[in-house]
Amino acid sequence: MANIIGAIACSHTPTIGFALDAAKQQDAVWAPIFKAFEPVQQWLAEKKPDVLLVIYNDHVTSFFFDHYSAFALGIGESYPAADEGGGARDLPPVAGHAGLARHIGASLMADEFDMSFFQDKALDHGCFSPLSILWPRANGAWPGSIVPLQMGVLQFPVPSARRCYKLGQGLRRAIESYPEDLNVVLVATGGLSHQVHGERAGFNNTPWDHQFLDLFENDPETLLNMTHADFARLGGWESAEVVMWMAMRGAMSAKLHCLHREYYLPSMTGIAVALYENVATVDAALTARAIEQHRAHIAHQTHGVEELPGTYPFTLETSVRAYRVNKYLHQLIDPGFRARFLASPEATYDAAQLTTEERELISTRNWRGMIQYGVIFFLLEKLGAAVGVSNLHIYAAMRGQSLADFQQTRNAPGALYSVASTSTAGATNWDKPAAK
C-alpha cells in the first residue's frame, strides 16, 4: 500500500522562486529563506519519496472564473510551469502520478467530496515556488512525481477550515488504500499572514503567525472553529488560504512530531516552513481490514458494471489514456477548426500528433471503435454534426445495424436529428449510408 511518510507546510510566495532563480542564496536579505528550507531538503533527499501530493491554489493563471471549483485534482501525466505574465520560469515539467491521482479522485468522490479534475494545465507559483526549493533537480530532472490538488480559495464562498480538514482525512484513506507500494509526502502551501490588496495591503501579524503554527501542531480543533473572517482579521485577507494547510493536517495523525520549523518575514508574506511526521501506533491487522473495507467502498457505485455488455464507462483512467484524441475532437466546436478539418483532415491530425490508430478511427468514422478506444460519445455526435451524420446513424453503427433496422427499434422510426445548428442542418444529407 502507499504510505504517508511525512508532511511539509510552507508558504508559496513568488518571493521564493524569484530569489532562487536570481541566485540570491548568499544575499543577506534572502539567505534566511534558503537556510530555513535546508533541513527539509535534506529530509527529502534522505527519505526519497516517490510522490509529493501538493496542495496549492492557482492565482488566476490556469484557472479562471468562467469555471471555478473548490477542489480540483490533477490527474494528468505531466505539468509544466505556467507563464504568469512575464514568461514561464526555466523549469522542466514535473511528472504526475496519474495512477495515484485517479485512485485519490475515485476515493474522494466515494466519500462524497464533489471533486473536479484537470489535465493539460500549467502550474503557477502556488506549486512551483516551494517545489523548486524543496526538491532540487539532478541533471535537470525532478526526483519524483507529484499529484497536484488545487483549491479555489480566491472567489468566495470557499471551503471552511473544517471542510478542508475532512478532505484531508479522506486523502489519508485514499492514499493508504492505494495498492502500489509508494512513499508519499504531503505538501501544504500558502500563507502565512499577508494582504496584497486594498488600503490594508502589507498587513502582517507575526505573533499570530507563531500562534497559528502552535495551534496547527497541537490544537487544530481551535483553528477548525475559526471563520474566514477570523483568519482575515488576524492574518490579512489573503492569509485565509491557510485553510489549505488544514487538509494536510487532517491527513496526519492527531499527534505530530515536528522535525523542523522556521519563520521569516522579509516583505509582504510571513514565510514559514515546517516538517512533520506522524506519531501513532499502527495495528497492522486493523489497518489492513480498514483498507479492504475502503477499497470496497470506492468500488461500490460501479460494482457490476463490467457485466453489462457493450458498455464502456468513461472513467478517469479512460480520460487520461484517451485525452489526446478527445481533445482533438473537442476542437470541432470551433468553426475555424471545423473548416480546416473538413478541408484537410490530415493536416489537423498532424498538428494534434494523433497516432495512426486514432487517425484511422476518425477517417473511417468507426463509431464503435472510437467508443472502445476511449472517445466519449458526446464528441462522436459533434463529429457527426460536422460531417453530416445524424445521431441515429451513429447509434445504428455502434450496434452493428443498418439505419433502417435500428429505426425499427424506436417508437418514432422516422426521427433523425443531430446537435448541428439549424444553419447547417439543411445542408445535411441524412440519406447517405452510415460509415461502418
Question: Which residues are the active-site residues?
Answer: 125, 194
Question: Rounded to 5 degrees, what are φ and ψ at 374?
Answer: 125, 10
Helix (H) or strand (E) holding 435, with range, is none
With left for phi above 0 and alpha for psi between -120 and 50, is residue 201 left, alpha or beta? beta
> For cell 525532478, what's the residue?
142
SS3 279: strand
With left for phi above 0 and alpha for psi between -120 and 50, is residue 312 left, alpha or beta? beta
> For cell 422510426, what's the residue?
413
**Contacting residues for 25 by C-beta, under 8 A, at least 6 apart:** 19, 31, 34
DSSP state of 114: -
Tell me if the bond preceding 309 is cis, omega within 30° of 0.
no
146, 133, 196, 121: CA torsion to nearest 10: -30
Dihedral sign from CA coordinates of 51, 55, 56, 62: positive
CA angle 294, 189, 52 (to 5 degrees): 50
Buried b / exposed e over 355-378, threshold 16 CB at 10 Å, is eeebbebbeebbbbbbbebbbbbe
- Contact predicate 410/401, CB 8 Å: no
